Amino acid sequence: MRGSIGPAARDDILRQYRYLLIEEDNPDLAQRFLAAVQTTVRKICQRPGIGAPKLIDNARLAGLRSWPVAGFTAVRVYYLIADNGVRVIRILHGKRDINPMLENESEEP
């Protein structure tokens, strides 16, 4: 199954990468994070039903699922399964207030 990463998810990846690179001053960890995201998205594309359902009121995200980023279990990939593949909506750290972010997500799946 094909996978695509939406603009908000791309911003999430960049935000986490910058945090690890600049705030944590750990370029190796930042690079491992990028590789882990790629590995995780590939795994989700191979087995899209693997993620846990995430129930929210946002009708545009009906069927939303989540799966942890390999090696970064506090960070989860939020995605939808569509006829044409997997659409990654957000990639968020668990310390963030995730539900309001997803409830207000306006990206069309």
> What is the reported pTM?
0.92
Residue 109 has pLDDT above 50, yes or no: no
Does some domain include residue 62?
yes
CA end-to-end span of the chain, whole Å? 16
Lowest mean pLDDT among 4-13, 49-58, 99-108: 99-108
Does some domain include residue 89?
yes
Average pLDDT over the chain reads 93
Q: Residue 25's CB: how many other CB atoms inside 10 A?
A: 9
Q: Can you give the CATH number for the domain in which 15 is found?
A: 3.30.2310.20
What span, in angstroms and rounded, lies between the C-alpha atoms of 37 and 9? 11
Does some domain include residue 108?
no
Does some domain include residue 9?
yes
What residues have CB less than 8 Å from 38, skipping those under 6 apart?
none
Into how many domains does the chain fold? 1
- Enclosing domain of residue 61: 3-103
Mean pLDDT on 85-109: 85
Does some domain include residue 109?
no
